[in-house]
Amino acid sequence: MSTSSGKEKVVCVTGSSGFIGSWIVRLLLERGYTVHACVKNLDDEKETKHLRALDPTGSRLRLFQIDLLNYDSLLAAIQKADGVLHVASPCIVDRVQDPESELLGPAVEGTKNVLSAAKASGVKRVVVTSSISAIIPSPKWPADAVKGEDCWTDLDYCKQKECWYPMSKTLAEKAAWEFAAENGLHVVVVNPGTVMGPVLPPTLNASMIMLLSLLQGCDEPYEDYYMGSVHVKDVALAHILLYENSSASGRHLCLESIAHFCDFAAKVAELYPEYNVARFPKDTQPGLMRAQNPCKKLIDLGLQFSSMEEIIRDSVESLRSKGFIS
């Protein structure tokens, strides 16, 4: 298995200011890479301050202001990079007014623009952040079969139920595979579950908001959005392992286990009985078969997944340290 080291290598990361992106930047810097970190607004300290803190001297971190729909801005960031980790994508789970302009268009066209800029810059390898939302909801999948890399979200179901976020992730990933096939670009994909853990940015991502809501008594079962949880550090490391290992190919499911939301909620209630965690029926995700260690492809690359308990403890402690809960 061939690998590459971080010494004198330049990696461009889109979505660097976000929950996953900032952890990827942190681990890349720790491994000796130079990072081109892409943000929406260089003048917004909520996007930049926590990134600059990862490299106070500024010797190996360069910030770029990009717009996923502006090819030239992406080209400026990606030029002179050896690889690209494309993490950025609009994330709106509810209250979508115009799906095409808010989610679908930016996700698909943004992905195409990133890959086009990577191809034009001579980049050898792109790791694309997809999601379990490109795997579920998939109600026609056999109930006695484990969902994995060969399962895709049902787009007709998404239209019917107005599940626009899974639709955006599915269309964007399919666009990435189509571009790779047509242009000979080496693309590999990460499909993380519900990502939680220590928060580096000043604001919370959708998954941590979900946990916060659960701790505050919310009884939403997230039927079409949950398949299992994963530690943010594990997700970041998965991206780097896929970039460094040239033998890696295809999709890579990335979660601690395939579980129902009720399993997660029960573990939260067990670990933190002082909070008003809702009780759920034993199966909150109809047709989802539970599975331990379902991510064989990443495990074979050396990734050791944090347990559900570790994910929850690190997440709750981060929420406490940042003052979101007491």
pLDDT tens column, 297-316: 999 999 999 999 999 999 99
169 is catalytic: yes
The answer, yes or no, to whether residue 3 has pLDDT greater than 50, is: no
Is there a contact between 66 and 73 (Cβ–Cβ < 8 Å)? Answer: yes
**Residue 2: what pLDDT?**
42
The answer, yes or no, to whether residue 1 has pLDDT greater than 50, is: no
Confidence of residue 102 (pLDDT cuts 50, 70, 90): confident
**Which residues have CB under 8 Å from 127's CB, separation 6+?**
83, 84, 85, 86, 187, 188, 189, 190, 239, 242, 243
**Residue 101: what pLDDT?**
77
Kindly give the residue spans of alpha helices, DSSP state H, lying in 204-307: 206-215, 232-244, 261-271, 296-300
The answer, yes or no, to whether residue 188 has pLDDT greater than 90, is: yes
Active-site residue identified among 169, 233, 267, 297? 169
Q: How many residues does the chain have?
A: 326
Question: What is the pTM for the complete model shown?
Answer: 0.95
Picking from 91-105, 150-164, 171-185, 207-221, which range would have the lowest pLDDT averaged per residue?
91-105
**Residue 120: what pLDDT?**
97
Picking from 95-99, 114-118, 250-254, 298-302, which range would have the lowest pLDDT averaged per residue?
95-99
Q: Could you give the 3-state DSSP secondary structure of residue 146? A: coil
**Residue 86: what pLDDT?**
98
CB atoms within 10 A of CB 9: 18
**Which residues have CB under 8 Å from 13's CB, separation 6+?**
21, 24, 25, 28, 35, 36, 37, 38, 84, 85, 87
